[in-house]
């Protein structure tokens, strides 16, 4: 009997070891894919492919304490060899709910490899734009500090902002509601929390709404076609019929956002086929990079992804439900 128990215990131990080992391997694979996501993105267009890959700059990292602010610290990814007398476009990142800048580090690194200074923070609740505004003020203070490595390195005429999910609301509010919002030149947002969910959230904790009527800079808005982003409702409704779900960023919301932005503004909306809410910051990175290369660095090749009769995105099978102005 003792021998049988011993054998059973050994079998259980072996199963546990194999399970733990398998989980460790799986976690390692997942981490590798996240850290090297650009290798697995499967871009289709020539321009999308070019800007999905890493750029030519080696990248360094720095972090600074946020002096007691709830967002903890500021994190900066930047070209390692910043040249004296040269300035670099700046991109601010507004976090999604509970996903801090440290959770996006590979996205920061990718954008910095194309010659941008990219900065974020550890804010869990970025929706008001306050932490993004403070982050912008902080990097500009380093730009003015003669003792800083960033002294005179920021191109203050070419500043962009990115937001994902709640951070999409935060990026819009950073531009439209914060005192330094007029410094931004372009905005890119992914899977921005819809008006339906904003209204639901505002019942308990306000600040979730955003007003795109006050956007006067080029804006590119993206979302995924899968369930969590898309849901199965085709319009806004305060009540949901049985079996219906409002996605985080459904097509009706993208269209509403597009229509709210003035036709005097360059604007694009598009949905990425087969992708969902959590995918969008990484999977859409090629066109995000191209967007900022065009507006912040004057890269006309990148602009061909979005504008002109043969705009690449219009024939790219990765993308659907596209609207472009002009």
Q: What's the mean pLDDT in 58-64?
A: 97
* Residue 30 pLDDT > 50: no
Which stretches of the chain are DSSP H helices?
2-35, 46-52, 105-112, 130-143, 166-176, 195-202, 227-230, 251-260, 280-283, 285-297, 300-303, 312-315
**Lookup: tokens for 294:** 């065009």
Instruction: Name the nearest CA neighbour of 181 among 169, 191, 173.
Output: 173
> How far apart are the C-alpha atoms of 284 and 246, rounded to whole Å?
22
State yes or no: pLDDT of 34 exceeds 80.
Answer: no
Contact 244, 195 (CB under 8 A): no
Q: Report residue 252: phi and psi, to 5°.
A: -60, -35
The SS3 of residue 9 is helix
Considering the chain, what percentage of its residues have pLDDT values greater than 90? Answer: 79
The answer to whether residue 26 scores a pLDDT higher than 80 is no
- 26-63 in b/e form (b: 16+ CB < 10 A) is eeeeeeeeeeebbeebebbbebbebbbbbbebebeeee
Tell me what the mean pLDDT of segment 177-197 comes to: 97
Question: Is 70 exceeded by the pLDDT of residue 287?
Answer: yes
Residue 250 pLDDT greater than 70, yes or no: yes
Determine the average pLDDT of the residues in 184-213. Answer: 93
Q: What is the pLDDT of residue 27?
A: 41
Instruction: Determine how β-strand 117-121 pairs with β-strand 59-65.
Output: unpaired
Q: What is the pLDDT of residues 159-174, one digit of tens each?
A: 999 999 999 999 999 9
Q: Return the SS3 of 105.
A: helix
């Amino acid at each position: 009997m003792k021998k049988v128990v011993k054998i059973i215990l050994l079998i259980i131990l072996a199963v546990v070891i194999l399970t733990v080992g398998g989980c460790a391997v799986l976690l390692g694979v997942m981490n590798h894919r996240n850290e090297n996501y650009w290798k697995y993105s499967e871009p289709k267009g020539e321009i999308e492919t070019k800007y999905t890959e890493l750029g030519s700059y080696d990248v360094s990292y720095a972090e600074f304490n946020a002096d007691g602010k709830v967002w903890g610290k500021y994190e900066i990814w930047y070209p390692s060899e910043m040249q004296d007398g040269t300035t670099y476009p700046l991109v601010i990142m507004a976090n999604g709910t509970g996903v801090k800048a440290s959770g996006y580090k590979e996205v920061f690194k990718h954008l910095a490899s194309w010659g941008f200074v990219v900065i974020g923070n550890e804010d869990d609740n970025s929706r008001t734009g306050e932490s993004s505004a403070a982050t912008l003020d902080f990097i500009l203070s380093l730009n003015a500090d003669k003792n800083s490595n960033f002294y005179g390195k920021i191109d203050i005429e070419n500043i962009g902002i990115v937001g994902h999910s709640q951070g999409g609301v935060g990026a819009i509010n950073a531009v439209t509601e914060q005192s330094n919002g007029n410094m931004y030149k372009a905005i890119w947002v992914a899977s921005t929390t819809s008006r339906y969910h904003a209204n639901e959230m505002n019942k308990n904790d306000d600040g979730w709404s955003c007003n795109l009527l006050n956007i006067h800079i080029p804006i590119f808005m993206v979302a995924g076609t899968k369930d969590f982003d898309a849901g199965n409702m085709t319009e806004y409704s305060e009540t949901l019929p049985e079996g219906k779900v409002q996605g985080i960023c459904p097509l009706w919301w993208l269209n509403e956002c597009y229509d709210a932005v003035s036709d005097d503004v360059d604007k694009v909306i598009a949905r990425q086929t087969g992708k969902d809410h959590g995918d969008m910051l990484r999977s859409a990175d090629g066109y995000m990079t191209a967007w900022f290369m065009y507006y912040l660095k004057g890269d006309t090749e990148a602009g061909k992804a979005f504008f002109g009769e043969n705009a690449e995105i219009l024939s790219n099978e990765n993308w659907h439900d596209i609207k472009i102005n002009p």
